[in-house]
Structure 1
Amino acid sequence: MKLLKAQMLADGFVFPEGPRWHKDRLWVSDMWDFRVYRIAANGNRELVCDVSRRPSGLGFLNDGTPIVVSMSDRKLMKIVGPGLAEYADLSKHARGDANDMIVDPNGRIYVGNFGYDLFGGAEQKLADLLLVDTDGSVRVVADGLDFPNGMVIKNNGRSLVVAETWSNRLTAFDRAANGRLSRRRVYADLGDRSPDGICADAEGGIWVSCFNTGEFVRVLEGGRVTHVVKCEGKRAVACQLGGSDGRTLFCCTFAGELEDIHCRKRAGAIEAVRVEVPAADMAEV
């Protein structure tokens, strides 16, 4: 197992989430500052838009249109210039705040939700994974997930892996041509690590942000950890491979206490570390 160390790229965020590398920029949601940013490789940032109901997951349709999760109203929004337009309403299907998402090669969007009112102190419940088709229709494709969070699509689109945060595991599904999921199984038991955002590399490894332990770990199917990026005294929130060659791992971190999030303390940052294996989809790089 190799230990790596990240370097600061940009700080002063409240709670950075949902990073995506697209056209030479890192897109990121600052969930509790209600904004989406675009960040250059040198750390310079540009405000893309405001999202009043809290932004989370980000993705891009086949024509390049950016999509952002609007959490508390449980919608997907198109980013149109500095504004937003509704793309899909998830509120009839999502029992809690909408969360992370991923776009498949055909423009379908998988999106998770909390499953219950986390911030209101409700009893913990399982959640459904939703699929938004290209016509905007919404359907459930997997149920009974324990806080579905970050996702990756692997094996040339034939597999989907989702982080189940409260169960400390990555869960895999087979994917059909129409987006349907089947053959649910444990991809990796993470022990005492709680996964948040994840991303995949070109050799099948998955980088996992371990929120509770402050680590970013590269995991293979079956659970073997090959690399660890430790962020002492910080929470590991989300990660994304990118850069000009796909070999920069961008790490979203949070150095405060959980109650600091609601106070909008600027304890969030984006750090970066060079890795050996590039991003799985170099077309996005």
Structure 2
Amino acid sequence: MRYALAVREWAELGEGPTWDAATGRLIWVDILSSRIHSYDPGSGRRTVMATEQHVGAAKPRAGGGLVVNLRDGVGLYGPDGGFSWLLHDPVAGRRANDAAVAPDGALWAGTMRYDEAPGGGTLTRIAADGSAEEILGDVAVSNGIGWSPDGRLMYYIDTPTRTIDVFDFDGQLAHNRRKFVSVEAGAGLPDGLTVDAEGGVWVALWDGGAVRRYAPDGGLDQVVELPVRRPTACVFGGPDLTDLYITTARAGQAAPHPLAGSVLVLPGAGRGVPALPFGG
């Protein structure tokens, strides 16, 4: 399987790709540059929107606009671009990181400390009405979140643990946390993930220069080597959800690869599951 260049960019910390089926575009963020990017592969049209804070993730809303995981909480952009806070919870030294929309339309939003101190991050479920429940409160770097195609399993990564965990999911909450797979030392750190239509889990390996697919039983199924050292996350997109888009980062590298910070794509990598918009 060979990668191609989808979008040339110089993102410091490109992250959180999402395919918005309603508009036929890819949405992702550059966390440290406080930017939300979009790309329409059909027309080649791109947009860039600045946020006032570091932004960990941006996801479509059911009524239009975006829900965003920001440094000081979760906010809403309306279709007209107007902004309001849904959950304002600033904590000194902490910022937002990855987030995902669950099968019931709730947002699961992660945080981490800037110094990545163990126990400084959280994972919180935010319902459409803005009510919030902290699910995990002892996280270092809250990262990839995804659900099995039938919605009965939830996968989750706290990056320094080197582990993808799996929970049973009851339609709203996650229970019975256990190890799905561990990434061996020297292969990089698990970062963002996505789940395909067959239940395979694709994960980007920070400092590993690759994405991997794990079969539903946890067996390592595919390894795709990339030219960049720091891929961050991946998602299936395109009209038939068969192209795997991969965000990457330049941050922390003295001499990053020329494609670091760009969005790469693996055409025909598999088939994804349509992403649901946030219900609020």
TM range (shorter): 0.7 to 0.9
* 1:87-126 pair list within 5 angstroms: 87-91=86-90, 96-114=94-112, 116-118=113-115, 123-125=117-119
Aligned to 1:158: 152
Corresponding residue of 2:263 = 270
Aligned pairs (5 A) from 1:1-285? 4-14=1-11, 15-22=13-20, 23-41=23-41, 44-70=44-70, 72-91=71-90, 96-114=94-112, 116-118=113-115, 123-125=117-119, 127-177=121-171, 179-192=172-185, 193-255=188-250, 257-258=252-253, 267-281=260-274
* C-alpha distance after superposition, 1:124-179 (max 9, x if no partner): 335331111122011112343342201102242222111121011111111223x2
For 2:83 and 2:259, the matched residues in 1 are separated by: 25
3-state DSSP of counterpart to 2:160: helix
CA contact (8 A) 1:48 1:82 kept: no
Check 1:44–1:13 CA distance in 2 against 1; reply closer, same or farther (3 A cut): farther
Native 8 Å contact 2:244 2:265 kept in 1: yes
Contact 1:49 1:82 in 2 (8 A): no
Name the TM-score, length of structure 1 as normaliser: 0.84
**Residues in 2 aligned to 1:29 and 1:129: alpha-carbon distance in whole angstroms:** 19
| Amino acid across the alignment from 2:164 | L
Unaligned 5+ residue runs, structure 2?
Answer: none
| 2:146–2:154 contact (8 Å) kept in structure 1 | yes
Aligned AA (2:99)? M
**TM superposition shift of 1:188:** 1.4
| RMSD after superposition | 2.7
Could you say if the C-alpha distance between residues 45 and 229 of structure 1 is closer, same or farther in structure 2, counting changes exceeding 3 Å? farther
Any idea what SS the aligned residue of 1:13 has? coil
Distance 2:74 2:152 in 1: 26
Hey, what's the Cα distance between the residues in 1 that align with 2:73 and 2:276? Answer: 30
**Structure 1 Cα separation of the partners of residues 38 and 51 of structure 2:** 14
Q: Is 1:189–1:223's contact at 8 Å kept on the other side of the alignment?
A: no
For each residue in 1:198-220, what CA deviation from the matched residue of structure 2 results, as whole angstroms up to 9, or x when unmatched? 11100001110101201111112
TM-score, with normalisation over the residues of structure 2? 0.86
- Distance (Å, rounded) in 1 between the aligned partners of 2:82 and 2:46: 15
Equivalent position SS for 1:166: helix
Residue identity over aligned pairs, in percent, reads 22
Judge conservation of contact 2:27–2:59 (CA < 8 Å) in 1. no
Distance 2:97 2:251 in 1: 21
How far has the Cα of 1:74 moved from its partner? 3.0
